[in-house]
Chain A
Amino acid sequence: MKVHISATGIHMEADTSTPETAVPSSVPQPKDDFQEELVIRPLHSGDIYASFQFRTLWETDFMRGNKVSHYRLFPKSLGQVISKFSVRELHISFTQGYWRTMQWGQPFLPSPPGAELWVWFQDSVTDVDGTWKELTNVLSGIFCASLNFIDSTNTVQPSASFKPLGIGNVTDHSFLRYATLPREIVCTENLTPWKKLLPCGSKAGLAVLLKSEKLFHSSFHSQAVHIRPVCQDWQCKTTSWELRQTLNVVFDLHTPGQGKREWSLFKMFSRTLTEACPLASSSKIYIDITDNPQGEQFEVSPATPLLSQAMVLGDRRTFSVYDLTQQITFGTVRSLNLLIRWKSRDMLRPLLHGERYVAGYGLQTGEIHTLMYNNHPYRSFPVLLLDSVPWYLRLYIHTLTVASKGKDNKPSYIHYQPSKDRVRPHLLEMLVQLPPNSVTEVTVQFERALLKWTEYTPDPNHGFYVGSSVISSLVPSIVAMDTNSTREQPLFSSFFPCKEESSYFVRVYTEPLLVNLPTPDFSMPYNVICLTCTVVAVGYGSLYNLLTRSFQIDEPSPGLAKRIANIIRKMRGVPPL
C-alpha cells in the first residue's frame, strides 16, 4: 500500500505485487481482507431492491482475553466492544419500513421494523445481565440510537430460535440475549456512524452511493452489523472474525415522480461510481437477470460479459457481474452508471410467509392472531415461532390455540416463560408443523394493564408497540444447496450457514403491533386542585364571613339642601335635623 501526499491531495495505491503478510517485522501481522458488493434485483411490482454488503475478515483472536491493539481494516470501536464485553456473536439491525414478502419475495437478510439486537456472549462471562446492560449503553453511543432503553422488560432469552450463525457448538442458551425496540427511528444520524465503520468510509468504492436523502426516501431501508467467528478453511484449523455491514433498500417506482419503468444508479442514489475502494480485495456489482435470460423483459447497459450463478434462497439465480477493480468497467467516461430499462411488463412465490394483527374491541381485552402461510404444494415443514410480548399485555396462555385448516394442530415443543410485572416480558416459543398449502393460525387472548401515571410516555395516545414475531424455519429447497461455506461465493448467498443440501434457512418477521392502553387523563390532577380550592374558598369563605362579620345600620348621606341647613343650624348652635 503506497501513500503519496502531494499538492492535490492524498492518493492511495493498492500495491498488489506484495502480499499483505510479507511485512518485515518481528510479529507477523494477522491477515485482514475486505470485500464489498452490491446486488440489484428488479422486483415484479416495479420496485427495485438493492443490497449492499461489506465484509471484513480478520485472522485474529478476540477470545480468552487476547489483547488486540493494531487495527487496520477492522474498526477499532467494534473490536474494543468485542474484547471488553467478551462477545462471541453480535447482530444489530436498524430498519425503517416493513418487508412485504408477498410482493417482493424473500430478502437476502431479514430484519424486523425498528431496532433488533441479539448477542451470544462467551462462556467466560459471569454476569450476563450486567454485561448486556453495559453493552447496550455502549452501542447506543456508537450508533446514535436509543438502545439504552433495552432493559430487562424487553429482553428475552430464546431457547431454540437464535442459534449462533458462526462456528461453535454452543448449547447453553443462558449466554444468549435478544431484544427489539420496534419504536426506534432510523435516520441519517444512524447512517453516519455506520458509514464511518467502513475502511474507505464514504469516500471511495460502493459506499459513495450511500446518500441519506435518497436512501430514506424509500419503501424499505435496513442497515445492520453482524459480527461472528468463522472458519477460514474446510478443516476449520484457523478461525477468523467476520464483520458484515449490510444495507438493504427497496426503492419505490412512483416516488421519484417519473412513471417510466427505468432504473439507473443515478436515479436510485443520485451518484455514479468512479472507482472501487482501494482497500478492497474484491468490489463487484451483481444484477439479477434470472427472469430475463434472452433480454426480452429488460435490458442492462453497459453490457458486461461476466456472468455468475449462485444458489440463493433455494433457487439458482443468474447474475450479470460488474467488477469494479477492473478499469475497463468504467469505460471511457471513467464513471459507471448502470441502466436497467424495461421493454415490456412473473415471481417465485415465497414458501413461508407470516402476518400478525390484534383483534377485539375496547381497551380492556384483545386477541393476538398470528398467521403462518405454507405455500409449498406438497411438503410440510416445521417452523419455530418466537413471540415476545411486553408485560403490560397480560397473556392468558390457557386460551392459546393453534389451528391449521380448521383442525387443532398441537405444537411438538413449547417453551413459555411468564412475564413479571415491570421485570420481564412474556416469552413464547413453539415448534409447529405446517401442513402443505395451508394457513396456520395461532391465537391468544390478553388483557391490557393500567400503568402507573409516571410510566406513560410523553405521547401515550400514540400507542405502545409490541415487537415482531420471529418465524425461523428450514424450508425445503428446489435445487441442491451448497454446504461448503468456505468456497468462494458471493456474499449475499453465504450469510446463513447451510448444513444440509435439501433445505435452506429462512427467518421471517411479522409486523409489529401498535396497541392502545387505557390512558388516564393527565390534566385531571390540575382540574381537581382548581375545583377543590375553589369550592373550599367559596364555601369556607362565605361561612366565615357570615359568622364573624358584625352588621351596623348606616344612615344614608342627606341631600344637598339638608346639608346646608345642618351647617346653618350648627352655626346657630341648634341640634341638626
Chain B
Amino acid sequence: MKILTFFSLFSTFLSANSINVEENAGQFFSSGHTNNWAVLVCTSRFWFNYRHVANTLSVYRSVKRLGIPDSHIVLMLADDMACNHRNPKPATVFSHKNMELNVYGDDVEVDYRGYEVTVENFLRVLTGRLPPSTPRSKRLLSDDRSNILIYLTGHGGNGFLKFQDSEEISNVELADAFEQMWQKRRYNELLFIIDTCQGASMYERFYSPNLMALASSQVGEDSLSHQPDLAIGVHLMDRYTFYLLEFLEDIHPASKANMKDLFKVCPKSQCVSTPGHRTDLFLRDPGSALITDFFGSVRKVEITMETINLTDLIKEAEQKDNVQQMLEMVTNEMNILKLWFDSNKLSLNLNKTKFMIFGNHTTNIDVKIVIDNKTIERVYESKFLGVVLDHKLCWKPHIKYLCMKMARSIGILSKTR
C-alpha cells in the first residue's frame, strides 16, 4: 500500500517535471543568439604604449575565461610587448603593478600582429570582405544569430582613432562598417567598447539597430592611464579597462549581472573621465541583456533523462515567417467566422468579400484563400470609408480618384464662367 502511494507520488512528480522540462525546452528556441564572437584590437605601436596591449589582453583573458574559444576570437595587436627586447620579463604582459597578473598567459593566439593591424584589415574583418586565401583564424565568420563584442583601444581624438601612428579610422567609417554588417546579417547584437581619449565621439554616428556602445570618456575629456610599474618602466593599464577587468573578474559563466551594472563601472571618482554609453539603438532593455550574452559563450545545457517531443515546438517556430502559413491561419479564422455567421442566421456575401495583402515586397507565391469551396478574390486596391487603400500604402490610387473628382467639378465650374 505504502509502496503504491509512494510510486504514484513519484510518477506524478516525474510527469510534472517532464512537463516543466518541455516548457523549458521552448526557451531553447526563443533566445536571440546562438554563438558569440569577439574582435579585440590594440592599435598602438611602440614600447611606451604597453598599456594599450595590456588593455586588449585583459579583455581577451576575460572573454576566454568566460568561454569564448580562440577560434571565435579575432585578436589584433599592433606591436609585440611580451617579447620586446625592452621587456625585463619576456613572454609576459602585466596588468597590475608588482607583476601580480600576467594577462599574456601561456596559450594566447594572436591573429593579426604588427604591420597587419591596419584600418583596411580591420574593416575587412568586420565586413567579411577578405581575399579567398585568408585562413579561418583571421576571419569573423559570424551569422545573424551571433552576438559580437568589439573592443578598441589606442590613441584617439574627437571623431577618430589612430592606427599605429600613421593612419586613422573615423567614426563615420565605423558606423558605415556596422551598417554593412547589419545589411549582410552579420550580427544579432553588437556591443562596442572603446577606451581612448574622447571615446564617446566614436559612437556618435552609429545608425544601425541592435548596437550598444560604451566609451571611457566623453568628448573633450582625456582617458587617463592607471599606474606605472617601476620595474617595467611604463604605465601598465588604462583606468577604464583596469576597473572593467576588476569588474569582469567577478563574473562567472552562470552570473546574472546585466548591462546596467556594466554602465556603472569606473565612475568619475575612479576614472577621472566620465564614461559614457549609448543604448538608443538597442532594441532590448539593457537591464535584460546579461553580461555573459557578450563576454561569454554560455551554452544553455540542461541534462535530462526524459525524451522531449520537439515536433510541436519546431512547427511553432516555423510558423513565424511564412506567408503561406499566414494565409492558412486566415483561412481557418474565416471558416470559424463563417460558422458563427451561419449559426446566428446571418449570411456572409462571399462575392463581395475581397482580400488584400499589405506589404512592400512583391510576393510571387500563388496565394489563395478558400472559404466554403469558394475562392476569395485578391485585390490590390479597394475603397473603404471614402479612402482608396492600395496594397503598397503609397496612396497613388486615392490621389488619382481625388484628381478625377476635382477634374469633373472644375470642368463644370468652367462652364459657369
State whether B115 touches A216 (Cβ < 8 A): no
Chain B residues with CB under 8 A of A148: 116
Chain B residues with CB under 8 A of A144: 109-111, 113, 137
State whether A215 touches B45 (Cβ < 8 A): no
State whether A217 touches B137 (Cβ < 8 A): no
B87-127 interface mask toward A, CB cutoff 8 Å, 1 = contact, 0 = none? 00111100000000000111111110111100000000000
Check: A189 CB closer than 8 A to any chain B CB. yes
Complex Cα spacing A213 to B93, Å:
11
Check: A457 CB closer than 8 A to any chain B CB. yes
Chain A residues with CB under 8 A of B201: none
A204-235 interface mask toward B, CB cutoff 8 Å, 1 = contact, 0 = none? 00000001110111000000000000000000
A129-152 interface mask toward B, CB cutoff 8 Å, 1 = contact, 0 = none? 000011001101110111011000
Binds B, one of A38-46, A155-163, A180-188, A389-397: A180-188
Distance from A206 Cβ to chain B, minimum over Cβ atoms (Å): 17
Distance from A247 Cβ to chain B, minimum over Cβ atoms (Å): 14
A265-307 interface mask toward B, CB cutoff 8 Å, 1 = contact, 0 = none? 0000000000000000000000000000000000000000000
In the complex, which range does the number of interface residues on chain A fall in?
20 to 34
State whether B104 touches A458 (Cβ < 8 A): no
State whether A188 touches B116 (Cβ < 8 A): no
State whether B166 touches A458 (Cβ < 8 A): yes
State whether A146 touches B106 (Cβ < 8 A): no
State whether A188 touches B133 (Cβ < 8 A): no
Q: A144-B110, A186-B83 are in contact. Are A138 and B133 (CB under 8 A)?
A: yes
Check: A35 CB closer than 8 A to any chain B CB. no
Chain A residues with CB under 8 A of B135: 137-138, 140-142
Complex Cα spacing A140 to B139, Å:
13
Check: B82 CB closer than 8 A to any chain A CB. yes
Check: A494 CB closer than 8 A to any chain B CB. no
Check: B273 CB closer than 8 A to any chain A CB. no
Nearest to B90 among chain A residues (CB) is A216
Contact of A149 (CB < 8 Å), options: B46, B92, B115, B166: B115
Interface of chain B: mostly helix, strand, loop or mixed: loop
State whether B133 touches A134 (Cβ < 8 A): yes
Chain A residues with CB under 8 A of B116: 146, 148-149
Q: A146-B114, A217-B89, A457-B115 are in contact. Are A188 and B104 (CB under 8 A)?
A: yes
Nearest to B114 among chain A residues (CB) is A146
State whether B111 touches A185 (Cβ < 8 A): no
Q: A144-B137, A216-B90, A216-B91 are in contact. Are A187 and B111 (CB under 8 A)?
A: no
Check: B415 CB closer than 8 A to any chain A CB. no
Check: A193 CB closer than 8 A to any chain B CB. yes
Distance from B6 Cβ to chain A, minimum over Cβ atoms (Å): 31
State whether A185 touches B114 (Cβ < 8 A): yes
State whether A212 touches B91 (Cβ < 8 A): yes
B134-145 interface mask toward A, CB cutoff 8 Å, 1 = contact, 0 = none? 111110000000
State whether A217 touches B114 (Cβ < 8 A): no
State whether B92 touches A213 (Cβ < 8 A): yes
Check: B164 CB closer than 8 A to any chain A CB. yes
Q: A138-B133, A188-B104, A213-B92 are in contact. Are A458 and B165 (CB under 8 A)?
A: yes
A538-556 interface mask toward B, CB cutoff 8 Å, 1 = contact, 0 = none? 0000000000000000000
Chain B residues with CB under 8 A of A185: 80, 83, 113-114
A188-202 interface mask toward B, CB cutoff 8 Å, 1 = contact, 0 = none? 110011000000000
State whether B164 touches A458 (Cβ < 8 A): yes
Chain B residues with CB under 8 A of A213: 89-92, 106
Distance from A165 Cβ to chain B, minimum over Cβ atoms (Å): 26
Chain A residues with CB under 8 A of B115: 146, 149, 457-458
Distance from B237 Cβ to chain A, minimum over Cβ atoms (Å): 20
Nearest to A218 among chain B residues (CB) is B90
Check: A96 CB closer than 8 A to any chain B CB. yes
State whether B91 touches A188 (Cβ < 8 A): yes
Chain B residues with CB under 8 A of A96: 83
A458-472 interface mask toward B, CB cutoff 8 Å, 1 = contact, 0 = none? 110000000000000
- Residues 120 to 170 of chain B near chain A (Cβ within 8 Å): 131, 133-138, 164-166
Contact of A189 (CB < 8 Å), options: B90, B110, B136, B165: B110
Q: Identify which of A96, A134, A186, A192 gathers the most chain B CB atoms within 10 Å of its CB.
A: A192
State whether B90 touches A192 (Cβ < 8 A): no
Chain A residues with CB under 8 A of B106: 188, 192, 211-213
Q: Identify which of A134, A188, A217, A457 gathers the most chain B CB atoms within 10 Å of its CB.
A: A188
State whether B80 touches A187 (Cβ < 8 A): yes
A428-470 interface mask toward B, CB cutoff 8 Å, 1 = contact, 0 = none? 0000000000000000000000000000011100000000000
Q: A140-B135, A185-B114, A458-B165 are in contact. Are A193 and B45 (CB under 8 A)?
A: no
Complex Cα spacing A187 to B90, Å:
9
State whether A141 touches B137 (Cβ < 8 A): yes
Distance from A190 Cβ to chain B, minimum over Cβ atoms (Å): 9
Complex Cα spacing A90 to B307, Å:
52
Chain A residues with CB under 8 A of B90: 213, 216-217
Q: Identify which of B89, B104, B113 gathers the most chain A CB atoms within 10 Å of its CB.
A: B113
Nearest to B113 among chain A residues (CB) is A146
Chain B residues with CB under 8 A of A522: 166
Chain B residues with CB under 8 A of A142: 135
A332-362 interface mask toward B, CB cutoff 8 Å, 1 = contact, 0 = none? 0000000000000000000000000000000
A26-67 interface mask toward B, CB cutoff 8 Å, 1 = contact, 0 = none? 000000000000000000000000000000000000000000
Q: Identify which of B80, B105, B111, B135 gathers the most chain A CB atoms within 10 Å of its CB.
A: B135
Complex Cα spacing A211 to B105, Å:
10
Chain B residues with CB under 8 A of A138: 133, 135
Complex Cα spacing A186 to B137, Å:
18
State whether A217 touches B91 (Cβ < 8 A): yes
State whether A192 touches B107 (Cβ < 8 A): yes
Chain B residues with CB under 8 A of A192: 106-109
Distance from B50 Cβ to chain A, minimum over Cβ atoms (Å): 14
Complex Cα spacing A193 to B108, Å:
9
Distance from A92 Cβ to chain B, minimum over Cβ atoms (Å): 15
Chain A residues with CB under 8 A of B110: 144, 189
State whether A189 touches B109 (Cβ < 8 A): yes
State whether A133 touches B165 (Cβ < 8 A): no
Nearest to B167 among chain A residues (CB) is A458
Complex Cα spacing A134 to B45, Å:
28
Name 21 interchain pairs, CB-CB below 8 A, sorted by A: A134-B133, A137-B131, A138-B133, A141-B111, A142-B135, A144-B137, A146-B114, A183-B114, A187-B80, A187-B83, A187-B91, A192-B107, A213-B90, A213-B91, A213-B92, A215-B91, A216-B83, A217-B89, A458-B115, A458-B165, A459-B46
By Cβ-Cβ distance, the 8 closest A-B pairs, closest first, are A141-B135, A187-B83, A458-B164, A216-B91, A458-B166, A137-B133, A216-B90, A189-B110
Which residues of A does B touch, CB under 8 Å? 96, 133-134, 137-138, 140-142, 144-146, 148-149, 183, 185-189, 192-193, 211-213, 215-217, 457-459, 522
Q: A141-B134, A146-B115, A186-B83 are in contact. List 7 more A-B contacts (CB 8 A).
A: A141-B136, A141-B137, A187-B91, A189-B108, A192-B106, A215-B91, A459-B45
